[in-house]
Structure 1
């Protein structure tokens, strides 16, 4: 199956660590990162999609972060 995740975080080093961890576990970047202003918190937020080929078939309860 092809797995998809959208990683999000405030625009800080935690976002970079989150993406780096996913890449180290075999995920690949999918598209460009996105940035948006979160008016509720007054901070910028980042998003990056990642994909990974994984064994087996998709099931609703699969924990994508554990692939």
Structure 2
């Protein structure tokens, strides 16, 4: 009976250790995802700003009178 109890105790210890490492890994991944989300939001704002600048620059240019391509 004690062998069975010892085996169960060892198995429980292994499972608890495994869960502890998994919790650490999950927390590390969560921190990485949070940092990446912040970077993505910054990049989205920058892309939107660049798009607005491009539209403003295109609107400020005078129209170009070119002959149609078939001439």
Superposition TM-score tier, normalisation by shorter sequence: under 0.3
Select the structure with the greater relative contact order (CA < 8 A; seq sep ≥ 6). 1
Greater share of strand residues, 1 or 2? Answer: 1
Which protein is bigger by CA-based radius of gyration? 2
Greater share of helix residues, 1 or 2? Answer: 2
| TM-score between both structures, scaled by the size of structure 1 | 0.23
